[in-house]
Amino acid sequence: MSNRWLYVLPLLMLVVMAGFFGYALTQNRNPADIGEPLLGRPAPAIDLAPLQEDGARLTSAEWQGKVTVLNFFASWCAPCLAEHPLFLRLKEQGTRLQGVNYRNKADEAKAWLARLGNPYERIGVDPEGKAGVEFGISGVPETFVIDKTGIVRLHLRRPLTADDVNKTILPLVRELSK
């Protein structure tokens, strides 16, 4: 009788696991629904080496006293390419932008920015994704608005759109800058 269980137990486990996988696949999960655990909380403390050899480190101390839009990007990210002109426009309008080069080779990011234009005041490199983990990002691009006291006021888990810039980011930055 015990020999029979040796054959039935693996099959039973397979059926149970298939049930769990089937349930997970039927759930409507949208990455935007993951949540924004940092909203209303201090931005994580980071200290990242600069992308440019002559640049300054990107640290969380930078966010004290200044409203900052922080963007996690990578040169291999197609949505980052699509949203990049919007960051150039934000820069033209005087918005303070900082970037995190997320899990990307520095040379590739430098060439990408040289070709497309660099909207960022400072860029920190996050080759292993540790700062991304601290910020709770699920991928790139992701954008945060950090107020003068270092509190996260907005977190977008998707590429920016013109509506995001016009109806959300610019009004929020103006309000927080008062």
Question: Could you read off the pLDDT of 144-167 as tens digits, one per residue?
Answer: 999 999 999 999 999 999 999 999
Q: How confident is the model at residue 13, as a pLDDT? A: 76
How many domains does one find in the chain?
1
Task: Report yes or no on 27 lying in a domain.
Answer: no
CATH code, domain with 132: 3.40.30.10
Helices 78-92 and 106-116 sit at what angle, rounded to 10 degrees?
50
Task: Report yes or no on 23 lying in a domain.
Answer: no
Q: Which secondary structure element, helix H or strand E, spans residue 133, and what is its range?
A: helix 130-135
Task: Report yes or no on 53 lying in a domain.
Answer: yes
Domain, as residue range, for 138? 35-177
Task: Report yes or no on 76 lying in a domain.
Answer: yes
Question: Could you read off the pLDDT of 122-141 as tens digits, one per residue?
Answer: 999 999 999 999 999 999 99
Whole-model pTM over 0.75: yes
- In sign, the C-alpha dihedral spanning 44, 155, 87, 71 is positive
Task: Report yes or no on 141 lying in a domain.
Answer: yes
Cα angle at 130 between 170 and 177, to 5 degrees? 20
Task: Report yes or no on 163 lying in a domain.
Answer: yes
147 closest CA partner among 88, 73, 92, 69:
69
